[in-house]
Chains A and B, each alone.
Chain A
Amino acid sequence: MRMRAELVWGLGLTLPALALGLLGVGQSPESLVAAPISFTQPDSDWKAVRQVIEDRCLECHGGHDRESGLSFADRTTFTLGGARGPVVEAENLEVSRLLHVIGYSDPNLAMPPAGQLPEDEYKLLEEWILAGAPWPEGEAGVLADASRHPIKRRTIDTDSEWWAYQPLTKPEVPSVADSVWNAHPIDAFVRAKLEDKGFAPVGLATPEELIRRATFDLIGLPPTPEEVREFSAAYEEDADGAWSALIERLLASPSYGENWARHWLDQVRFAETNGYETDGKKTNIWRYRDWVIRAFNDDMPYDRFLMEQLAGDELLELARDPDASEASLIATGYYRLGVWDDGPADAVQAKADELADIVDTTGQVALGMTLGCARCHDHKADPITQKDYYAFTAFFNNIVGFGGEGDTKSGGGTTRLVADEPTEGQYTKDELEIRIDKLRSTLSAYASQLAWPEAPSETILPDARAGGATWKYHEGEPPADWHLQAFDDAEWKEARGGFGTKGTPGAVVETQWKSEQITIRADFVLEAIPDGAILSIHHDEGAEVFINNIHVASLDGYTTQYTDIQLDRQAMNALVVGSNTIAITCTQTIGGQYIDAGLRSGWLDRIGSYADRVSLASDEQLEAVGGLDLKPTAREIERLRSLPVAEPYEALVVVERGNKAPEQHVLGRGSAHAPGDVVAPAVPAVLRWAGEPDLSGTWYGANTTGRRLALAKWLVNEGSFVTARVMANRLWQFHFGRGLCRSSGDFGRFGMLPTHPELIDYLAVRLIENGWSMKAMHREIMMSRFYRTSSVPSEDLASRDGNNEWYGRTDVRRLTAEQYRDAVLTVSGLRTDTMYGPSVYPPMPREVLETSSRPDQAWGTSTQEDATRRSVYVFTKRSLRVPILENLDQPSPDTPCPVRFPTNVPTQALITLNSDFMNDAADAFAGRVLGETSSLEEAIGAAIELAFSREATDDERSALVNFAQELMDENDLDERGAMQVCCLMLMNTNEFMWVD
């Protein structure tokens, strides 16, 4: 189905619905109370007004341009107004849009943009507008040639001819004369283009080059000398077989996920802090990083990979997708990766900016579209209107912002308790409960008839019925951090619980509380942790209960008597031997206040208790209820309960506000204070020919709208013609150093044209045909002859295709910052290969810490073992980055980075020559090779082999031996010292840092 959409082009600016009573910031109070001066001398006054308009407005509005459709060319164009109609409100002159924008009260809607009008000019225009903005007819009123900027209507044919938005079909594989290039379709496409351009490709790379290339490419580490030797020998026997086996070995390595995850983390601007003033930590966001690594290692299909990040929660909870799991929730940490201002100057705009960040990132990552360009106005180059932009925004506008709906500063309201994927023989808490429930049901019929044995239950904290505990209390809004154990409540008053007013049903009032809110805190000492504990609580409208910082209960609605709550496992885990703190805040808007709580050990009649009863019952008792054979079942329940559980703990995830999204407005110039038309969720018009997201699902009682799910499904079904192209190109990019379309984050007209559009389409189709398996794509690409060609250009290629535009060879590539650091750690034998878990903190030079406003709190410490883990596990702090990674061009994590930009500057050389990190590694490297060999010469040979993944030549070896000898003779270095210098030098060579 093809659609045509007619759009008004260039008139996208949506001006604001005006708020009454806005005063111009620049206006002193006097000017606002001054009596309006009437336009008594129209001619001379108009002259002055005209002068101001000519000086300040005309260039953009009617002169050189016709911005937002507004033209001051003549009376007619002025009366017509701008994209949103007349700029003077005849009925109510004071709220005229023109007056509003020159008032400069809203920085996003302030005109002229270069600076506010001088006071006298402002007053003049104000008077003129309040006088009805009289505009002379005829010559006096003609400021510019109105015909210069006719209102343009541009029609977007949604079946645009642009390459990226074409239907995706499998292109015919060309046949080339050089028949060795016909065996693999990728080769045929590459060779055909070379044939066209009149180039001959170079020959194949050496086996040593190939294994180093493939190993860095897939796992981001250098191959070991043994691996090189084995491969080279096998390659001689059976090149294709050895090559294929190598690829399989590397794809099966868990290091593969660590390397390829990093590529994805660049796209989604992964960081573990929020930026801005406090640059606070994102709670456990490393779980998202681990999810990405696991997804690559498990070969999660790309369609699934994308869907889980965009809508993992909805797959699990709305669609009840059988393949979704709690891990799918962690994937939605995708929405929590961006920067977040914890103290915004304009909270409303900040929320809009946060949302825009998600929209822009998603547009670029999934669709290769620079949607962000259409936030303030229609896209300047691509057929994306501002309306399209906000329609796309509507898929996401129900997401609770990072700070939650309140003003919490820690991502509150956007975390959920999620268990890790259980390892073998381990269950999640839910799975365990299902199993226990099953067993319990066989017990329950009998056990419920059993008398409850003397259950050990001791008072931990007495509620008022048992005399009451001593509480600290505070009335009114509680201070921040009231719930934390470390909170200092020394200033608070102290009294016996319960708190309330007499006459409240079920209350035992010890201390009067009549206000709207009370917060109470009490400490209690445990000498041992009980198996189970019960909270007894009697509360008003709403109560939040914390024990040792853990949110134990959130209670709605008042109670008329004490209720018992069995503390769950998470709360139980929070208890410690020694001093514990319970903190409760309770609200009550109308009379009849009451709050009190107590704690006792023991079990309610819930999980475990039937088993306890059976276990504790005598055989006679069991026989009496006909359940003599129940003890093994009870024991099995106990066994299950003693198993280690994949405990749920905090993960930053997406959270929506409920199942009804707020209206999405088009925002004038991107300003949240200038809402315009309402738009419904939709993909950009240019993509709609393939069908639209299915938004028909109704999700009764759900906490989300299902919009993200609809979009995610669309992206990998109807929209796969774009999604697959973008990802296929990206896969190519990370294999060869650049995309077939070099601007891999922008497939639009501002991007670059693909050199091999048919090959992108071919790979995109293959990606889909392979069930979106990325490992299958690695195999296909790497099994091509082209992948195996040498990187050394022929003379002809060097002179006529220096940029290697047409792929007569492969490109040499510099290691990424992470690969370089990991390679240094690897060859020096320092690398720790622990996977997953919280990020680590390699030592940060003191002088770098001092750039932080709180140098002593800026960075963490890790053990030596942790500090030498792979770079993907290094903590990413937005305001303080690890020097070697930052200087070697790890991108700033504030914006998506589709293509890294490697630079070459002397400060990099300072770090790789002089830093402690490099010199320590060089020392370890020296120690390693000296320890593994029996002579300096062998040690040098081993070092070269480790560094370059090839055997040293005799010349190289003897040159370095002489070099080391010279250092020992002339510079008073011992063997280890000389070897350290050699190793440092080797790790600084281009051969170490570049891959052929």
Chain B
Amino acid sequence: MSGHNEHFCGRTRREFLWEAAGGFTSVALAGMLGTSWLAGQARAADGVSANPLAGVDPRRFLTHAPKAKSVIFLFMYGGPSQVDTFDYKPDLYKHDGKTIDVPTFGRQGKRAGGRVVGPKWKFRPYGECGKMVSDLFPHLGQCVDDIAFIHSMYAESPVHGSALLNMNTGRIISGHPSLGSWVNYGLGSVNENLPGYVVMLDETGGPINGAKNWTSGFMPASHQGVQLRSEGVPILDLNTPEHLQNGVQRKLLDRLRLMNESHAAKRGGNHELHSRINQFELAYRMQSAAPEAVELEKESKETLELYGIDRSETHNFGKKCLMARRLVERGVRFIQVYSGGGHNDDNWDAHGDLVLNHTRHAGRTDRPVAGLLKDLKQRGLLDETLVVWGGEFGRQPTAEYASGTGRDHNSWGFTMWMAGGGVKGGISIGQTDELGAKAVQDRFHVKNLHATILHLMGMDPNGLTYFFNGLDESLVGVEGAEPIRQILA
């Protein structure tokens, strides 16, 4: 092995590893500087293309000590209604059925007003902070002292396709990397036997845009999210085919390694050839590591109950939440769990019958999400795990149609919350107007949410850049964005 590929900024890899250790725990070190990551990323695999990661010191994006090591993004696809969940609007009840002037913008376009649909659930206070939470979330209500609610979110589009892109990639224009890709690009992966960016979908299907929501966009494909399933084979092609079982695959890999090593030996120690040899070993280990990570049999009965896995209604989402915790324990950086998939009432997109829709989706997620927060807390993981809850937008206070309780999309104001990982608990910031239609006070763009997540992970949102097509691209865009400081612990 020779050539300057072995050197990083003029140092050998060993020196580099050693130096990088300063200031960080060994876990972080192993994670950020996993040898496979270096071997795999330090140069382009063809050995010739300019690799934007070449010689990149993974620390360079760390600007301060990270509060959160992992993120669990609970994506309430379809857009939950803020006034029926966490954004308490006592005056709205009495307007139910009245037609009022309130500008809205949804899939039906811009409207000047409409018939108010009063909140369909009662709110009651919870916790020491006395946060008002709707009866959709009796379990989550018990966790409010660990949660920071942001009631004044706004996004750029009230249409699912572009709004999902907005929430996941920061832009409504297609082609940019998603949040999880940025996190993994910025920090590298902790566990080389598992993907650093995992997506779990609803059993009814993927969200609109499908894989665009976890794309690595213009970044290398290695940064894209890997879909992990809660039933069957967790990762695509993870299972050894039948005819390769019982040690055949191991024999194949041993033979393959011999052939590859003899091939590489004749080619001047080409780094990429060696790297690919290692990838087979990593893949082999992933075959046992990934099923182990999602293996729930060893979890206690109490834990399974805590997540609602014993109940048919909450079984599926509960399982995914518990898998998320296990992935966090194994160092996966970014986990996104979708509540809702497909179209219409298979997700939170309550255009028709609000009560039916939200009862269903809150019913499926309330206990599991509360279980996740409690479990993370009792295991001491909540402090270093950032949990994010929200959809691509919220919903309007007025009805979409002449009759019924359905609400149209609303990107002018909606609620998201965060918990753990350096976030204050028991607080609510920002406000929508008295109808809950529009964020009016301390308004926060999706970019501010992204900036907060990056900041909590130890990075400067405006400094995390990737050079592409002549621009230093960043998740928060060229204008930059500040983290939401009010919620930082």
* A-B interaction: yes
Q: Which residues of A contact B (CB under 8 A)?
A: 25-28, 104, 107, 113-116, 118-119, 275-279, 339, 341-346, 353, 360, 364, 370, 372-373, 376, 379, 381-382, 736-738, 742-743, 745-746, 748, 750-752, 791-793, 798-799, 802-804, 811-814, 845, 847-848, 850-855, 858, 878-881, 883, 886-887, 889, 892, 894-896, 899-911, 913-916, 919, 956, 959-960, 963, 966-967, 970-971, 973, 977, 980-981, 984-985, 988-991, 993-994, 996
Q: Give the shortest distance, in Å, between A745 (CB) and chain B (any CB).
A: 7
Residues of B within 8 A of A914 (CB): 237-241, 244
A119, A879, A909: the one contacting B211 at CB < 8 Å is A879
A900 and B49 in contact, given A798-B3, A853-B208 (Cβ under 8 angstroms): yes
B201 engages A967 (CB within 8 Å) = no
A894 engages B445 (CB within 8 Å) = no
B276 engages A904 (CB within 8 Å) = yes
Residues of B within 8 A of A113 (CB): 479-481
B256 engages A814 (CB within 8 Å) = no
A988 and B280 CA atoms in complex are apart in Å by: 9
A904 and B264 CA atoms in complex are apart in Å by: 16
A914 and B40 CA atoms in complex are apart in Å by: 21
Q: Give the shortest distance, in Å, between A373 (CB) and chain B (any CB).
A: 5
B237 engages A915 (CB within 8 Å) = yes
In the complex, identify which listed stretch (B315-323, B394-402, B432-440) lies at the interface while the others stay far away.
B432-440
Q: Which residues of B contact A (CB under 8 A)?
A: 2-5, 36, 39-41, 44-51, 105, 107, 156-163, 165, 172-175, 195, 201, 205-212, 215-218, 220-222, 226-227, 229, 232-233, 235-241, 243-244, 246-249, 251-252, 255-256, 258-260, 263-264, 266-270, 272-273, 275-277, 279-280, 282-283, 286-287, 341-343, 411-412, 433, 438-445, 448, 467, 469-471, 478-482
A960 and B252 CA atoms in complex are apart in Å by: 11
B440 engages A812 (CB within 8 Å) = no
From B259, which residue of chain A is reached at the shortest CB distance? A989
From B40, which residue of chain A is reached at the shortest CB distance? A904
Q: Which 6 A-B residue pairs are closest in the complex by CB-CB distance?
A: A802-B3, A277-B161, A370-B470, A894-B175, A113-B479, A345-B157
15 contacts between A and B (CB under 8 A): A114-B448, A276-B174, A370-B471, A373-B470, A379-B470, A737-B48, A811-B47, A812-B270, A886-B221, A903-B40, A903-B41, A908-B283, A909-B276, A911-B236, A990-B273
Q: Give the shortest distance, in Å, between B161 (CB) and chain A (any CB).
A: 3
Residues of B within 8 A of A894 (CB): 174-175, 217
B218 engages A984 (CB within 8 Å) = no
Residues of B within 8 A of A799 (CB): 2-3
Apart from the given pairs A343-B107, A909-B279, A966-B251, 14 other A-B contacts in the complex at a CB distance below 8 Å: A27-B440, A345-B159, A370-B470, A751-B470, A812-B270, A813-B48, A847-B227, A853-B342, A892-B175, A892-B216, A895-B217, A903-B40, A914-B238, A916-B241
Residues of A within 8 A of B241 (CB): 914, 916, 919
B48 engages A804 (CB within 8 Å) = yes
Residues of A within 8 A of B232 (CB): 847
A811 engages B48 (CB within 8 Å) = yes
A904 and B268 in contact, given A750-B470, A851-B210 (Cβ under 8 angstroms): no
Residues of B within 8 A of A988 (CB): 256, 280
From B172, which residue of chain A is reached at the shortest CB distance? A345
A909 and B457 CA atoms in complex are apart in Å by: 30
Residues of A within 8 A of B172 (CB): 341, 345
A985 engages B255 (CB within 8 Å) = yes
A854 and B205 CA atoms in complex are apart in Å by: 7
A372 and B468 CA atoms in complex are apart in Å by: 11
Q: Give the shortest distance, in Å, between A872 (CB) and chain B (any CB).
A: 19
A853 engages B343 (CB within 8 Å) = yes
A909 engages B283 (CB within 8 Å) = yes
A228 and B236 CA atoms in complex are apart in Å by: 37
A276 engages B40 (CB within 8 Å) = no
A341, A379, A991: the one contacting B263 at CB < 8 Å is A991
Q: Give the shortest distance, in Å, between B227 (CB) and chain A (any CB).
A: 6
A115 engages B280 (CB within 8 Å) = no
A911 and B210 in contact, given A115-B444, A746-B469 (Cβ under 8 angstroms): no
A763 and B6 CA atoms in complex are apart in Å by: 34
From B159, which residue of chain A is reached at the shortest CB distance? A343
B471 engages A990 (CB within 8 Å) = no
A855 engages B205 (CB within 8 Å) = yes
A883 and B282 CA atoms in complex are apart in Å by: 19
A803, A879, A915: the one contacting B4 at CB < 8 Å is A803
A769 and B15 CA atoms in complex are apart in Å by: 53
Q: Give the shortest distance, in Å, between B182 (CB) and chain A (any CB).
A: 15
From B3, which residue of chain A is reached at the shortest CB distance? A802
A791 and B341 CA atoms in complex are apart in Å by: 50
From A988, which residue of chain B is reached at the shortest CB distance? B256
A468 and B148 CA atoms in complex are apart in Å by: 71
A892 and B211 CA atoms in complex are apart in Å by: 11
From A879, which residue of chain B is reached at the shortest CB distance? B210
A55 and B245 CA atoms in complex are apart in Å by: 65
Residues of A within 8 A of B5 (CB): 802-803
Residues of A within 8 A of B41 (CB): 903
A853 and B282 in contact, given A344-B159, A811-B48, A907-B235 (Cβ under 8 angstroms): no
A892 engages B218 (CB within 8 Å) = yes
Q: Give the shortest distance, in Å, between A401 (CB) and chain B (any CB).
A: 15
B160 engages A905 (CB within 8 Å) = no
A116, A372, A858: the one contacting B210 at CB < 8 Å is A858
A853 engages B263 (CB within 8 Å) = no
B46 engages A814 (CB within 8 Å) = yes
Residues of A within 8 A of B208 (CB): 277, 853
B247 engages A971 (CB within 8 Å) = yes
A990 and B280 CA atoms in complex are apart in Å by: 11
B2, B105, B259, B441: the one contacting A802 at CB < 8 Å is B2
A813 engages B46 (CB within 8 Å) = yes
Q: Give the shortest distance, in Å, between A706 (CB) and chain B (any CB).
A: 30
Residues of B within 8 A of A793 (CB): 268
B46, B212, B277, B440: the one contacting A26 at CB < 8 Å is B440
Q: Give the shortest distance, in Å, between A377 (CB) and chain B (any CB).
A: 9
Residues of B within 8 A of A996 (CB): 267
A791 engages B48 (CB within 8 Å) = no
A977 and B243 in contact, given A345-B158, A903-B222, A994-B273 (Cβ under 8 angstroms): yes
From B483, which residue of chain A is reached at the shortest CB distance? A114
B211 engages A851 (CB within 8 Å) = yes
From A955, which residue of chain B is reached at the shortest CB distance? B262
A833 and B181 CA atoms in complex are apart in Å by: 38
Residues of B within 8 A of A991 (CB): 259-260, 263
From A23, which residue of chain B is reached at the shortest CB distance? B103
A742 engages B247 (CB within 8 Å) = no
B49, B205, B217, B276: the one contacting A899 at CB < 8 Å is B49
From A356, which residue of chain B is reached at the shortest CB distance? B173
B215, B249, B264: the one contacting A913 at CB < 8 Å is B249
Q: Give the shortest distance, in Å, between B177 (CB) and chain A (any CB).
A: 9
Q: Give the shortest distance, in Å, between A32 (CB) and chain B (any CB).
A: 12
B45 engages A904 (CB within 8 Å) = yes
A752, A811, A973, A985: the one contacting B50 at CB < 8 Å is A752
A852 and B433 in contact, given A738-B49, A902-B46 (Cβ under 8 angstroms): no
B248 engages A971 (CB within 8 Å) = yes
A186 and B29 CA atoms in complex are apart in Å by: 48
A879 engages B212 (CB within 8 Å) = yes
B51, B215, B252, B433: the one contacting A981 at CB < 8 Å is B252
Residues of B within 8 A of A814 (CB): 45-46, 272
A341, A906, A919, A980: the one contacting B282 at CB < 8 Å is A906
B255 engages A963 (CB within 8 Å) = yes
A448 and B229 CA atoms in complex are apart in Å by: 76
From B258, which residue of chain A is reached at the shortest CB distance? A959
A745 and B467 CA atoms in complex are apart in Å by: 13
A752 and B275 CA atoms in complex are apart in Å by: 26
A855 and B227 CA atoms in complex are apart in Å by: 15
A115, A748, A895, A971: the one contacting B218 at CB < 8 Å is A895
A878, A910, A919: the one contacting B174 at CB < 8 Å is A878
Residues of A within 8 A of B275 (CB): 904
A118 engages B442 (CB within 8 Å) = yes
